[in-house]
Amino acid sequence: MKKVNLLCVGKIKEKYLRDGIEEYAKRLSRYCSFCINELPDVSGVDEVKAESDALLTKMKGYVILCDIGGKLLTSPELSEVMDKAYLTQSEITFVIGGSEGVDERVRNKADLRLSFGRVTFPHQLMRLMLTEQIYRAFNITANTPYHK
């Protein structure tokens, strides 16, 4: 079975966002093994480095980093990227960094830097949006009516 990891910094506090993420995670179970790995927020002197260190230890498979400076893709294009990744990898790891971002080591390790637009989204909302897009990508591959 295909595996998708969602690696992110911080916890979701709002119940409505947790509920939405859980709903898409449940729907994804028919297509893949879906795992969310939440790393703790770090506050202090060099939080970006500390959070990036933690992310680097957990990044595996084909890595897609959510990054405002990344590539803009349509949903069908994201589905195609995922399909091609599964030809050589058994898992895909999506990464959402902390509120201050990630350092160059994380950017350099990513196979793809993906942007959801040039505006900034709250990390909690981004997690819900990304989970929905992963579900949409699997539906595009399966040619289901959800995508339309």
| Three-state secondary structure of the chain | CEEEEEEEECCCCCHHHHHHHHHHHHHHCCCEEEEEEEECCCCCCCHHHHHHHHHHHHCCCEEEEEEEEEEECCHHHHHHHHHHHHHHCCEEEEEECECCECCHHHHHHCCEEEECCCCCCCHHHHHHHHHHHHHHHHHHHHCCHHHC
| Mean pLDDT rounded to a whole number for the chain | 95
Mean pLDDT to the nearest integer, 41-58: 92
pLDDT digits (tens, 9 = 90+) for 80-127: 999 999 999 999 999 999 989 999 999 999 999 999 999 988 989 999
Sequence spans of domains, the chain: 2-142
pLDDT of residue 147: 67
The percent of residues in the chain predicted with pLDDT above 70, rounded, is 99
Q: Could you tell me the fold of the domain covering 2-142?
A: Alpha/beta knot (3.40.1280)
